[in-house]
Amino acid sequence: MPRLFAFANGVDWINERLGKAGSFLILPMTGVVILEVIARYVFNRPTIWAHESSELLFGAFSVFGLAYTHRLRGHVKVDVLYNRFSFRWRAVIDLITSLFFFFFCGVLLWKAGDFAWISLMRAEHSQTPWGPPLYPIKCLMWLGFFLMALQGLAQFIRDLNTALTGRETK
């Protein structure tokens, strides 16, 4: 069990760092939007790159937040009944529902992997006048889903320990 907990703690460490670092992407995204508003409405000189770059930054921001939110148990859950159970029963419920989570992550990894691979092999670029490369963000999507699956595995390890011992594992 110590190795499994070391793995789970390592996954937590990675997702904690990436989630917090990714949260700072909101700053350049906000800056780009403000710059575009000023360029468009003050100087009547809209840019060809601001809208798309803000979408790409938001995509990266969202991807880094997936695993971090899962680590904090921040995804949607029906807490009305769930919070009335003991730690052990919550862990059992989480273990059962994790089967759906892993199926969902498997499909996301499979489809995002195909999506990213095709984009990478074609060196895909946007069809807009600016035309930035799209393969980096598509590969980043796959990485985000992979990190979320790893975080789910770390949580599964903790839930299994809690279900077996009755003690909450942090």
Question: What gap in Å lies between CA 167 and CA 92, rounded to an integer?
Answer: 12
Inter-residue contact 160 to 1 (CB < 8 Å):
no
Q: Is residue 170 part of a domain?
A: no
- Tally of structural domains, the chain: 1
User: pLDDT-derived band of residue 170, with 50, 70 and 90 as boundaries?
Assistant: low
Q: Is residue 135 part of a domain?
A: yes
* Residue-wise DSSP of 109-156: HHHHHHHHHHHHHTT-B-SSSS--B-HHHHHHHHHHHHHHHHHHHHHH
The whole-model pTM stands at 0.87
Q: Is residue 153 part of a domain?
A: yes
With tokens 């992550």, the residue in question is: 105
Q: Is residue 63 part of a domain?
A: yes
Name which of 14-18, 44-48, 73-77, 108-112 the model is least confident about: 73-77
Q: Average of pLDDT values for 118-136?
A: 93
Range(s) of the domain holding residue 87: 2-165
Q: Is residue 158 part of a domain?
A: yes
User: pLDDT-derived band of residue 135, with 50, 70 and 90 as boundaries?
Assistant: very high
Statement: residue 157 has pLDDT above 90? yes
Statement: residue 168 has pLDDT above 70? yes
Question: What gap in Å lies between CA 104 and CA 120, rounded to an integer?
Answer: 24
